[in-house]
Amino acid sequence: MTVRFENFITFARSRTGREAWTSAEALCAEALDLLLPVLDDRENPRHRKLRLIGVRAEKLSR
């Protein structure tokens, strides 16, 4: 997950699962888990506006 704030500071976070995600819901839950700290006071205490949010998934399986 990549987040860019209004002042162009960019944060990137990633997570590798122990098992392959087999549903869109599981992938969405992991992405939200990475994103939520940026939307509240944990990683964005000044509540800066966001310019960009990006999520990338690799090595998906069925």
List, for residues 39-50, the tens digit of each pLDDT value: 999 999 999 999
pTM over 0.75: yes
* Annotated domain spans of the chain: 2-15+23-54
> With contact defined as beta carbons under 8 Å apart, do 6 and 48 qualify?
yes
Confidence tier at 24 by pLDDT (50, 70, 90): confident
> What is the CB neighbour count within 10 angstroms for residue 3?
23
Higher pLDDT among residues 36 and 20, named by residue: 36
Share of the chain above pLDDT 70, in %: 97
Q: How far apart are the first and last CA of the chain?
A: 22
Which of 12, 22, 25 shows the shortest CA–CA distance to 56? 12
3-state SS class at 54:
strand
Q: What is the pLDDT of residue 26?
A: 86
Q: What is the pLDDT of residue 18?
A: 79
Q: For 11, phi and psi rounded to 5 degrees?
A: -115, 140
